[in-house]
Amino acid sequence: MLTFIFYFFIAIVVLQLSYYLGIFGKFAFGKPQSITPKNIPVSVIVCAKNEEENVKKYIPLLAEQNYPDFEIVLIDDASSDETLEVFEEFEKQYPNIRLVKVENNEAFWGNKKYALTLGIKASRKDYLLFTDADCYPTSKEWITAMTSQFTTDKTIVLGYGGYEKRERSLLNKLIRFETVLTAVQYFSWAKAGLPYMGVGRNLAYKREEFFNVNGFIEHIQVRSGDDDLFVNQAANKSNTTISYSPESFTYSKPKESYSEWFSQKRRHVSTANYYKVFDKIQLGLFYTSQLFFFLLVILLLSFQFQWIAVLALIATRYTIAWIVMGFSAGKLREKDLKVWFPVVEIMLIFTQMNIFITNIFSKPVHWK
């Protein structure tokens, strides 16, 4: 039995190395990205529900972008706080801001996709750039950097949406590591010609891509997924590219308690159930292989079975993974995570297992 487990462990290590070198290496070891301004007309779309304090701080940062031709479409999704009033003041202050007021609809109550659809239909530009109400760009060149990756063929651009750093917070390191790992995955698969998701904190696509797939209609019943489910449906090898220059990043405040973050990740994981079959398989294989790697390490070393070979395989796997994630973290300006990689990786793996088990027995809460 231990011999079988040992060979199974070897297979798991080979699978892990295939992911890190064969897939994730496409992003980690890729060339730095250049920015060539396109100056194409852009609608920046922000959907907010009860985000009064965030929009006061972040909408001016969008309005002050250094870009010649853009409008900002602000969508108030039936907020119960002062979000709408704040938006109305911005509409008076900035001539390129347009306001979309969404009232509660019995058929689509609390459905962000319905609100976004109204905003997209109200937009006047051919290219759409999305971010969330609690996000802000890293520079005044954000629109320039994201739109620079559009070409005649590339009409979907996947960007990076990170989280602010918090000193002396292990939870913050865990949250940011998970965000980096997710970005490395969707960036790498996009470079491999198999894009499967993006994040609404930083996503751009040509208006016609939305209508080519009839918007969100195929997954309108799923409360989340206005970003990743849309990309999973609409993106392909020919029309999708990525943007990872530092000027293109957005950031938002991370959750400050483990329970809040855990609930957020439950929503994200539940949405993945609606991905295409191949995408569910490749994600499942990766996360399952991570879990089995650690479980088999504990089992084999506890019996000291082929312990020299086991330690050699552990060292090989960790060296390769550390290098790949280190280069990737550097590109995404998350260099401090390199040192914490072994710790936060183990924490993340068992958190994901907990999320999977919890989602089996209860449904996560979605849009406010």
The residue count for the chain = 368
Per-residue pLDDT 10s for the chain (368 aa) are 899 999 999 999 999 999 999 999 999 999 989 899 999 999 999 999 999 999 999 999 999 999 999 999 999 999 999 999 999 999 999 999 999 999 876 545 558 999 999 999 999 999 999 999 999 999 999 999 999 999 999 999 999 999 999 999 999 999 999 999 999 999 999 999 999 999 999 999 999 999 999 999 999 888 788 999 999 999 999 999 999 999 999 999 999 999 999 988 988 888 988 999 999 999 999 999 999 999 999 999 999 999 999 999 999 999 999 999 999 999 999 999 999 999 999 999 999 989 988 888 777 655 45
Q: Which token pair is 80?
A: 């119960």
Identify the helix (H) or strand (E) that includes residue 130. strand 127-132
3-state secondary structure of 91: helix
* Rounded Cα–Cα distance for residues 30 and 41 (Å): 29
The backbone torsions φ and ψ at residue 302, rounded to the nearest 5 degrees and listed phi first, read -65, -30
Using alpha carbons, list the distances in angstroms from residue 98 to 44, 88, 141, 252: 10, 9, 21, 23
pLDDT at 367: 47
Q: Which token pair is 171?
A: 């939870």
Q: Which token pair is 154?
A: 């590339």
pLDDT at 364: 66
pLDDT at 368: 53
